[in-house]
Amino acid sequence: MANAELDELSLEECLGLLRASSLGRVAFSVDDWPVVFPVNYRLVEASERTWIALRTRPGNVIDRAPHNVAFQIDGIDPAHHQGWSVLVRGTQHRVDPDAADFRERFDPEPWILAERDAWLIIEPFAITGRRLQAAEPEWAFPPEAYL
């Protein structure tokens, strides 16, 4: 196999992947140790601003997270040894879901609805991504030998 390639994704590619998905992971530190939790989310794009919207139970570990968080989504194709990853780094804030029709327009529709009354947004300061392109196979013989 020839070398695989790791390419940076543009901001627009990252936003497109964030728009297309609804499940990611939020990461932060608790008691000086990193923790990562799966969450449903929705990308919020309004007035030239971008946020990640989450809903969780009031008072749980995500609701009590420190201000600085990371958020990640990815797609993996193990059969072809390729995939992509988008990383959002930012600050997490509580939001009033009734302000500016936020609830109706940007509900992340969590898979578990019970008690998911704490609405949060992640305000990004950096959105980056990478794509691993599979290597082209190197054949033992010229392609004509297989015909």
For 14-73, write each residue's pLDDT tens digit: 999 999 999 999 999 999 999 999 998 999 888 888 999 998 888 899 989 989 999 999
Q: 143 lies in a domain?
A: no
Q: 103 lies in a domain?
A: yes
**Structure-token pair, residue 33:** 């140790």
Q: 10 lies in a domain?
A: yes
3-state helix, strand, coil in the chain (%, to 5): 15, 50, 35
- Domain ranges, residue 130: 5-135
Average predicted confidence (pLDDT) for the chain: 85
Number of domains the chain contains: 1
Is residue 97 a contact partner of residue 103, using CB atoms and an 8 Å limit? Answer: yes
Whether residue 84 has pLDDT greater than 80? yes
Q: 144 lies in a domain?
A: no
Q: How far apart are CA 139 and CA 147, in angstroms?
A: 13
- What CATH number has the domain bearing residue 85? 2.30.110.10
Q: 115 lies in a domain?
A: yes
Q: 77 lies in a domain?
A: yes
- Greater confidence (145 vs 17) lies with 17
Q: 118 lies in a domain?
A: yes
